[in-house]
């Protein structure tokens, strides 16, 4: 038995190392792409969460500002202040309107809300 035949047999076979590397590269490329997509989506979701948290903080501050603005209206009861604050803070449109008005017009808006006309 000759060892030269064994050497010839092993040396004549094509090496599949390059194929394995290309499969690995394809897998790595797919994994990297999948991970990149995942992180892009997570970044967008985190941005939305932060935005919502900021909005809630702004609304909370606005509620306090509305309630404080109603303090100068001495004829209002505590319950009326709560009702008016809640109604004004229902949406951003009402908040914008309220803070654009003069004190006299704010009082008129408050009266409309108490009467159920606004």
The pLDDT value given to residue 11: 54
The pLDDT value given to residue 76: 94
| Alpha-carbon gap, residue 38 to 31, rounded angstroms | 10
Q: Which residues of the chain have pLDDT under 50?
A: none
The pLDDT value given to residue 81: 94
| Alpha-carbon gap, residue 11 to 15, rounded angstroms | 9
The pLDDT value given to residue 66: 93
| Alpha-carbon gap, residue 110 to 104, rounded angstroms | 10
| Alpha-carbon gap, residue 67 to 69, rounded angstroms | 5
3-class secondary-structure state, position 48: helix
Q: What do you get for the CA distance between the two ends of the chain, in Å?
A: 105
């Amino acid at each position: 038995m000759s060892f030269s035949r064994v050497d010839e047999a092993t040396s004549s076979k094509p090496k599949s190392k390059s194929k394995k590397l290309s499969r690995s590269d394809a897998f790595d490329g797919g994994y990297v792409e999948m991970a990149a997509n995942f992180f892009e989506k997570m970044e967008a979701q985190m941005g939305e969460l932060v935005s919502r948290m900021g909005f809630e903080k702004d609304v909370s501050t606005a509620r306090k500002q509305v309630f404080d603005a109603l303090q100068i209206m001495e004829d209002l009861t505590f319950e009326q202040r709560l009702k008016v604050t809640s109604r004004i803070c229902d949406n951003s449109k009402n908040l914008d309107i309220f803070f654009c008005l003069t004190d006299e017009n704010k009082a008129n808006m408050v009266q409309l809300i108490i009467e159920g006309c606004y």
